[in-house]
Chains A and B, each alone.
Chain A
Amino acid sequence: MERCKRLTCISILLHLCFSLLPSTIAISSGSAEGYTISGRVNVESMGAKGFSLPAKVSNAKIILNGGQKVTFLRPDGYFSFHNVPAGTHLIEVDAIGYLFSPVRVDVSARNPGKVQAALTENRRSLIELVLEPLREEQYYEIREPFSVMSLIKSPMGLMVGFMLIVVFLMPKLMENMDPEEIKRAQEEMRSQGVPSIANLLPGTGRS
């Protein structure tokens, strides 16, 4: 009974893990100054539930209030902070490769045992303190596989492409043109004098 008072255990899964986790409740009676916050980190995507954490997460740190206390994960993903005073606390998970939202945890002094937790990023409140990553983090840019398009898009590719157009397509276009039209265009050019880029551009737009 006394233990229940002292222990603000949030994890609902206790009945499941009771036999696995005797150490969670191994707090002998004494002059405890605060409460215990227990929770679990769950990384679903790796498929490994329960006992073995993925290698990346086994190195994770759980940080209370920006570095006031630091703890680590047990093999089954559980963690706990002891001797936490009543108040509103912040728990952060540092696991390389994942983005975890910091969690706001209210430890109430008036009614012990009542604990509220909410993710600060999206204000989702948690019924039990099971922390899940918001997303996996990819630290590297993914190299796009080689494609002909990327080669063509590169400055050199564009250069070659333009040259090919000029060399092979332009004569074809000239051939397809009506000889009379060419003649008229030539006359037009002669009458306008030296063509500049400025009056060529709208000209193409008009035709």
Chain B
Amino acid sequence: MAMVLRLSLFLTVLLLSLNPSSALYDDQVGLMDWHQQYIGKAKHVVFHTQKAGRKRVVVSTEENVIASLDLRRGDIFWRHALGATDTVDEMDIALGKYVITLSSGGTILRAWNLPDGQMVWESLLQGSKPSKKFLSVMNFKMDKDNIIFVFGGGCLHAVSSIDGEVLWRKELTTESLQIQQVFQPVDSDIIYAVGFVGSSQFQTYQFNAKTGELLKQSVAAFHGGFSGEISFASDDILVALDATGSHLVLILYQDEISFHQTYISDLVPDSSGVERILPTKLTGIFALKTDSSVVFLRLIGEYKLEVVEKINSAAAFSDALSFSEGQKAFGLVQHVGSRIQLVVKLDNDWNSNLLEESVEIDPQKGLVQKIFINNYMRTDKSYGFRALIVMEDHSLMLLQQGVIVWTREDGLASIIDVTTAELPVEKEGVSVSKVEHNLFEWLKGHILKLKGTLMLASPDDIAAIQAMRLKSSEKSKMTRDHNGFRKLLIVLSGAGKLFALHTGDGRVVWSLLLPSLRRSGSCQFPTGSNIYQWQVPHHHALDENPSILVVSRCGLGSDALGVLSFVDSYTGKELSSLSLAHSIAQVIPLPLTDSTEQRLHLLIDASGRAHLYPKTSEAFKIFQSEFPNIYWYSIDAEKEIIRGHALHSNCGLEETDEYCFNTRELWSIVFPSESEKIISTATRKLNEVVHTQAKVIADQDVTFKYISRNLLFVATVAPKGDCPIGSVTPEESWLVVYLIDTVTGRILHRMTHLGSQGPVHAVISENWVVYHYFNLRAHKYEMSVIEIYDQSRADNKDVWKLLLGKHNLTTPVSSYSRPEVVMKSQSYFFTHSVKTMSVTSTAKGITSKQLLIGTIGDQVLALDKRYLDPRRSINPTQAEKEEGIIPLTDSLPIIPQSYVTHSLQVEGLRGILTVPTKLESTTLVFAYGVDLFLTRIAPSRTYDSLTEDFSYALLLITIVALIAAIFVTWVLSEKKELREKWR
């Protein structure tokens, strides 16, 4: 019976999959998907609030995004993501209408139109060597033009802000000159450039701002040497640290250079360690950072310094803001208990505050990192100040009049890893259907829908229908649903914060700034790396909450010590954390769980030892039984070696840790480093389900897929070819792909693509591999598919053998045996560059697969696997056509309706995650980058449930109509019969 059901299901799937993949109607946008736009951690902020009209703030971020935000609500007006290497160095506003950005190491200057974000001009600034970057916009009163002064690449440029033309250019690249500051005193047309020559000479240049003429150049030597930054002590005095870091050096630079030293310990008695001057743009006050505190110093009298304040808690301060005639203010923000305190002061008067506010802050946001202030006129003509604050978790918030006006969770722009967690099961007593209050409401809703389908609805009705569909609280409930659409997405951001997002509407359910991922004395540079499902209770352990494991490292090197933390997926509380005594090179989640359904994990450290977690005796016992069956591989990218490993023995020599094991190397594959370089690897997803090994092909024949969990795809290129397109010729570049069994180290298949190069993106699923690369001869991207079939089972088709028991179906499948495999392969052209690639996954693996291709345009294209089938031929036979084989074309089609992101873009796309739902036909797709996007797709349409727009009302009406018709005909026939009888 089950077989019949399955067969019929299979047939339906086949039948339905003949249609092109399902597309979206434009009124269905937002029903199944959500899209969130972020910008990343703010680096530079420029306010634009002078004129009436829309108040806005322009932000450039660590993700190389330039965005204009609405100052009232924090929404994005426009946004541009620059290229990955095009880091924004400086930003400013010119002419009151252009945003000027300096990027790519001070070589590219662009102007963007402030209202709509259109690029106005772009200029390339020639530079010869890397240097510090400075940008300032100067306004000459008599001209309409603003002149932009740019220092970058060792050259000083003056650029017209109307069209980006370089007015003059001065090279400041004498030997070992390091320009430290380029600045221009207010109301003067002299530009100063100061810097160090070598370690002990101080040099200044003075230029005429209009002509670029070198007015003056002077050099002076200071025997103590310099280190670090230069800052301003006052308008005409600079301050720097000497080479030992123990003295402050005041430098008088304007006419004659002279130096004055002050011993730091005299000023700050209990300071220790090496200080540094914080880069400030304040005048009159400068800041010194010591180990534990920030010290503000002020110049009093001639060359005499005085400590004005010492702040021991975390603090941030802004640049000086000139808000009225000659008055400059700056903002200082610090933590006071659970609140943050914002103080705005005049930069020459420390004792009085222009503004003092404090506001309660979410402890999960961490410490303040940056502050930018802006002033406005209050209604009573006094000055008010607002502050944009960047927090430790990369969020951005606006503080005004003692309240947080808005907050942006921009930490979500830098997602490192994603996993999912199920929601809690619906409990007794919780009302299920709060949506449809009664039958009348329900019917009314459906009648509205029916009106919509019959095109009878008025515009008001249509709006009501749309609102009803979008608002449906059904999708955002906090419990598990029957179809498994509602889940929690748990993401780890670059700032070390965990977020749980609801798949229904994308809201943040909880967030946690992981204590173990914050900088502390023992762990200087913590970096989060991966998250795993630690405990997934089902069956008997249902009462417990699921938990996840966050793996992080204390530093960037491979031998940095590891930190594990365990977080409850429902509440977002850290259950415990472990600081490990070993490093983490690899984490292997084992397919074993203990009695509380905690998954066993094997952590491999840099010295090749394996450590078992959780460290319980029960886990150890379970592990012991599987001890000889655990294999893994490691890739040494520097030496081009792939090694296979197995466990050896308990490493009880120096320590009595029974959860630590020595490993042994089983096999290794050494690639010739002069001709091959590993650029990409891929494996099958651990949780992938395959429904059947058999594949029925045309004319009732059966082939068997080779399904192995231990398949590794490796792509290597010629060492010359490991660079962007355009720098190699087809003759000197090749691409070799390997399929390797990771248990035995056997190379199952090797194929060479001559004249091709990377980048290679590959996906393995079931018995096939699809990879994307660049074909230099055709100068087009190509995608290839390799399908692997198991020949050892091919004889099982003979019915007689089956009857006589001469089949090998009962022989166990072993990873050690040598498989008899047959490869089939085919290549196709593909139009776009690819950023990432993934494949759909469903609960039972019955539904046909779609490839999800993240294109260079930040869209996600769903491409049916049937287009990548090595059995495609130019003229398929009738039987093959019936099976659904598409005639061969040289390139893969791009059907605009099959973009799962429809008309949206996932800016800065980095990864695509697919999550199976309980409904076999459907899978959730989560694409992340700077933006987040989630949708639900059905690769073979939703064959197992009614679609969203199924009209129940029409069904009801039909049934009613049928019943009415039965009655009418019954009455009629009665009458007719009566008449007959009378006759």
Contacts and interface: CB of A to CB of B under 8 A. Distances in A.
B965 A163 contact: yes
Contacts of A83: 124
A141 B81 CA distance: 29
A164 to B, nearest CB: 8
Given A75-B120, A160-B961, A140 B24 contact: yes
Contact of B725 (A32, A89, A121): A89
A31 B126 contact: yes
24 contacts: A67-B833, A69-B83, A71-B122, A72-B122, A73-B118, A74-B119, A74-B120, A75-B113, A75-B119, A80-B122, A82-B124, A88-B779, A90-B726, A92-B856, A92-B857, A120-B831, A137-B896, A139-B902, A141-B23, A141-B25, A142-B25, A146-B455, A151-B454, A156-B958
Contact of B856 (A66, A96, A156): A66
Nearest to B124: A82
Contacts of A204: none
Interface stretch (B162-170, B178-186, B541-549, B571-579): B162-170
B916 interface: no
Interface string B886-911: 00000100101101001101000000
Given A92-B833, A139-B26, 9 more contacts: A26-B165, A28-B169, A59-B117, A66-B725, A83-B124, A89-B726, A139-B902, A143-B27, A160-B958
B724 interface: yes
Contacts of A163: 962, 965
Nearest to B118: A58
Contacts of A31: 126, 128
Scoring B23, B85, B778, B896 by chain A CB atoms within 10 A of each residue's CB, the highest score goes to B896
A85 B727 contact: yes
Nearest to A73: B119
Interface in A63-99: 63, 65-75, 80, 82-85, 87-90, 92, 94-97, 99
Interface in B22-69: 23-27, 29
Interface string A7-37: 0000000000000001100111111100010
A167 interface: yes
Given A26-B166, A82-B124, A146 B726 contact: no
Given A22-B165, A156-B954, A32 B120 contact: no
B481 interface: no
Interface in B939-982: 954-955, 958, 961-962, 965, 969
Contacts of B965: 163, 167
A138 interface: yes
B586 to A, nearest CB: 29
Given A26-B165, A66-B774, A146-B455, A141 B896 contact: no
B724 A66 contact: yes
A67 B117 CA distance: 21
Scoring A66, A83, A92, A97 by chain B CB atoms within 10 A of each residue's CB, the highest score goes to A66
Contact of A87 (B83, B108, B124, B727): B727
A109 to B, nearest CB: 12
B128 A140 contact: no
B822 interface: no
A160 B122 contact: no
A139 B899 contact: yes
Given A96-B903, A101-B831, A167 B969 contact: yes
B759 interface: yes
B955 A156 contact: yes
Contact of B83 (A22, A70, A88): A70
Given A65-B724, A83-B124, A87-B727, A104 B779 contact: yes
Nearest 3 pairs between A and B by C-beta? A30-B126, A70-B83, A137-B896
Contact of A140 (B26, B82, B833): B26
B410 interface: no
Nearest to B858: A94
Interface of A: 22-23, 26-32, 36, 53, 58-59, 61, 63, 65-75, 80, 82-85, 87-90, 92, 94-97, 99, 101-102, 104, 120-121, 137-143, 145-146, 151, 154, 156, 159-160, 163, 167
A30 B726 CA distance: 24
Contacts of A92: 832-833, 856-857
A74 B831 contact: no
Contacts, number: 171
Contacts of B856: 63, 66-67, 92, 94
Nearest to A120: B780
Contacts of B781: 102
B84 interface: yes
A75 B958 contact: no
Contacts of A65: 724-726
B954 A154 contact: yes
B123 interface: yes
B460 interface: no
A28 B896 contact: no
Contacts of A61: 857
A101 B832 CA distance: 9
Interface string B702-744: 0000000000000000000000111110000000000000000
A31 B127 CA distance: 8
B726 A139 contact: no
A160 to B, nearest CB: 6
B98 to A, nearest CB: 12
Interface string B485-504: 00000000000000000000
Contact of B126 (A32, A72, A167): A32
A23 B164 contact: yes
B453 interface: yes
Nearest to B901: A139
Nearest to A71: B122
Scoring B120, B166, B856, B902 by chain A CB atoms within 10 A of each residue's CB, the highest score goes to B856
A141 B905 CA distance: 18
Contact of A72 (B23, B80, B726): B80
Contacts of A96: 857, 859, 903, 905
Given A66-B724, A85-B727, A22 B163 contact: yes
Given A65-B724, A99-B896, A26 B83 contact: no
A155 B165 CA distance: 69
A67 B929 CA distance: 15
Contacts of B122: 23, 71-72, 74, 80
B151 to A, nearest CB: 15
Contacts of B116: 58
B620 interface: no
A36 B123 CA distance: 12
Nearest to B128: A31
A120 B119 CA distance: 27
A23 B897 contact: no
B86 interface: yes
A108 to B, nearest CB: 12
A30 B86 CA distance: 21
Contact of A146 (B117, B454, B896): B454
A142 B28 CA distance: 11
A71 B119 CA distance: 10
Nearest to B966: A163
Contacts of B961: 160
Scoring A70, A99, A140 by chain B CB atoms within 10 A of each residue's CB, the highest score goes to A140
A72 B68 CA distance: 17
B896 A27 contact: no
B121 interface: yes
Scoring B120, B123, B455 by chain A CB atoms within 10 A of each residue's CB, the highest score goes to B123
B82 A70 contact: yes
A95 B119 CA distance: 15
Contacts of B163: 22-23, 26
B780 A70 contact: no
A92 B969 CA distance: 68
Given A70-B82, A96-B857, A146-B454, A141 B831 contact: no
Contacts of B26: 139-140
Nearest to B452: A146
A102 B83 contact: no
